[in-house]
Amino acid sequence: MYVTTDEDLPELIQKLEKCEVLAVDTEFVREKTYFHRLGLIQIGGDGVYGAVDPISVKDLGPLLELLKRRDIIKVFHAGKQDLEILFRLTGEVIQPMFDTQVAASMVGWGAQISFAKAVKKVTGKTINKSETYTDWCRRPLRQSQIDYAIDDVRYLIPVYHKLVKQLEKLKRTEWVENEHREMVNPSHFELPDPQKVYLKVKNFRTLKPKNLAVLRELAAWREEQAMHRNCLAKFIVRDEPLLEIARNLPKSHKEIADIRGINSREISSNGDEIIALINKGMNISEDLYPTVPESSHYSTGRGVEELLAAFVQIRSEVLKIEPHMLADRKMIHSFVEFHEKKEDLEQHPLFHGWRKELIGSDLHLLLEGERGLYINDDGKVDLTHSPSNNKPPKES
C-alpha cells in the first residue's frame, strides 16, 4: 500500500493499530543537508505493509501517534538514523524498539550485517538492492522503487522473530535490551550546542585565548546558519578559512576576501555580521575566554591495549559474538586509561551490566597481573589463573 494523501493514511493506520510488533524503515537523502530530507516512511506488521509519502502527505500525525505507542515494539535494521528522523518528527524517542543489526551481532551472524544478508540467512530469499542509490525525494517514484522500499519492512518481521528465538536460546535477550537502552538515550538526538562547536574545528588549539573567543563566536554563527539554511556547515565556510579569520581578525570585507577559501557571495551577504562577530569575540573579558579542554589523546602503556584486544578476540570467538560488541578499541583504550589513572572502574561501560561478567572483570584481572595469557593444549590462547607465581622478582 502506497499512501500519498492525507485521506488514505487512516486506512493504513487502522490496519496496523492492533499489531504488537511493527517493522519500520525510512528512506532519505542527506548528502548536502544539515537535516535528513525524508523521502518515505515504511511500516508494516501482521501481513500489512505500506509506504507513506511524507512529501505529499501533509499530516503525518496518525502515523506518528502509532509509532509513539509504548505497547508496540518497533523493529529497525541499523536504525540509528531512522530513530533520529523520527525524533525530529515526534519530539520524543521512539520506544520500545528492537534493532536487528545489533541483535544479529549478539548471536554470531557477523559484524554490522547488511539487511540483505540477514534476510538471506533467515528466509533464503535474495532481495533486490538495485535501488540503493535512489534519490528518494524525487517524484514520481517508480513502482519498482516503492516495492523495493516496502520489502525492507516486509522481510524485517521474519528476521526479528528469528533473532528473538536465537537470543532466548542463548540467554542473551538482556544483552540486547541493554544495547537498545543506550541507543534510545535522548542525549544522542540533541542538536549540538552552537557555543561548543568551536571545539570541533580543526587545529583550534593553535589559537591564542582571545582568538579562540572569536572562533567560538564564528563557529556558533556558522552552525546556526547551517541549521537555518539546512546545509552542511562547510558549505558556508570551511574549517580552514574560519580558523584563519579568527587568527587574522580582518576588519573589512576586503580583508576577509584576502583569506583563501571564502565564497564572495558569503562575504557580500554576511561580511558585516562576520566583522561584528569578530569584534564581539575580541571584546569578551578574559575571565569569559573559552577554556581549552585537555587533549583527549592519552598514550597507554606499550602493548597493553593489544594484549587486551587479543583477549577480547578470543572471548568473542568462544561466545560467538562480534568482538566490537564486547569491547571495541575505543572502549579498551578508555578502560586502560581508567586503570592507569586509578579512576573508578565501576563508572566504565565495561563494568556495567553483562559486559562486566563476560569481559570487564577478566580484563581488569589482566591489568592487575592476576591473570595472564598462554597457549593451551588445543593450540589456542587462554587465560592463566595465577600468573603472579611466575612474575619476575621486584628489584630491591
pLDDT in tens, 124-134: 999 987 787 88
pLDDT in tens, 140-170: 999 999 999 999 999 999 999 999 999 999 9
Domain borders along the chain are 2-188, 194-288, 304-390
pLDDT in tens, 350-392: 999 899 999 999 999 999 988 888 888 888 777 787 555 555 4
What dotted CATH number matches 194-288? 1.10.150.80
- Give the DSSP H or E segment for 270: helix 264-282
Whether the domain at 194-288 and the domain at 304-390 fall into the same CATH topology: yes
259 φ/ψ angles, rounded to the nearest 5 degrees: -85, 120
> pTM for this one?
0.88
Report the chain's mean pLDDT, rounded to a whole number. 93
Burial class from Cβ neighbours inside 10 Å (0-12, 13-18, 19+) for residue 260 reads exposed
Task: Examine the pLDDT at 215 and tell me if it is beyond 70.
Answer: yes
Confirm or reject CATH 3.30.420.10 for domain 2-188, answering yes or no.
Answer: yes
Proportion of the chain in helix, strand, coil states, percent, rounded to 5: 55, 10, 35
pLDDT in tens, 246-257: 999 999 999 999
**Three-state DSSP class for residue 28:** strand
Domain 304-390, second-level architecture: Orthogonal Bundle (1.10)
**Three-state DSSP class for residue 21:** strand
Q: Sign of the CA dihedral 80, 86, 88, 93? A: negative
Q: Please enumerate in sequence order all residues whose Cβ is within 8 A of that of 4, keeping only pairs 6 or more positions apart, or say none.
A: 53, 56, 57
Only one residue has cell 544483552, namely: 175
